Amino acid sequence: MRHYTGLDKMIHSFDQALRSLVPGATSAHRENPAQNLDSPLGVSEARHVAGLMRVNHSGEVCAQALYHGQALTAKLPNVKREMQQAAIEEQDHLAWCEDRLVELDSHTSLLNPVWYGLSFGMGALAGIAGDKYSLGFVAETERQVSLHLVDHISQLPPQDLRSKYILEQMNLDELHHRDTALTAGGVDLALPIRITMTAISKLMTKTSYYI
């Protein structure tokens, strides 16, 4: 098995960041859940849906960064593999959200590099704290993401089945990642950490909707 130097890891991390942040750089491994669906929207409806999908895209950028940071500092090989596999599955979400934004003639958030940097740092710190806390961090993150997705699904225009099917599949995947993390030994995080995560999530949600 090849031994990766510190420089190798830095280059790999930089490549992962670029793939997460540059539009069109990430391809889905699975077929888009909204394939062959037609969802006509009015101008104001399309603008609102674009805002919601931009928030969800930013959330997936954060998820990528969290998993990349945790995989970098995780101690146990099996935990590293779990983080790497989860990041691959989250790439589908990133691509699906980006595709929908293109369809809506909109754009991804200009703040994504900021969210990526913050999330990568938090993920790396969680990995340093220990694998059980790292897995607990994943579980709590996915729980909060699921709550956002359920709320966004409820805000979609009734005829927007394209966005609905994408978000519903994303939610199923997030809940699966949460359950996997808990089964692998994740622990509940302390209340102050959960509150901080919620506050950062709300900041990201409110700004990425518009910017």
Q: How far apart are CA 83 and CA 70, in angstroms?
A: 7
29 is known to lie in a ligand binding site: no
For residues 15 and 90, give the distance between their C-alpha atoms in angstroms, rounded to a whole number. 16
Q: Is 60 annotated as a binding residue?
A: yes
The C-alpha atoms of residue 143 and residue 138 are separated, in whole angstroms, by: 8
Q: Which of 45, 63, 50, 22 is nearest to 197 (CA)?
A: 63
How many beta carbons lie within 10 A of that of residue 18, not counting itself? Answer: 11
3-state secondary structure of 36: coil
Q: Is 12 annotated as a binding residue?
A: no
- The verdict on whether residue 142 carries a ligand-binding annotation is yes
Is 31 labelled as part of a ligand binding site?
Answer: no
Is residue 82 annotated as involved in ligand binding?
no
**Residue 167 near residue 56, CB atoms below 8 Å:** yes
Q: Residues annotated in the binding site, as ranges? A: 60, 90, 93, 142, 174, 177
Q: Residues annotated in the binding site for Fe cation, as ranges? A: 60, 90, 93, 142, 174, 177
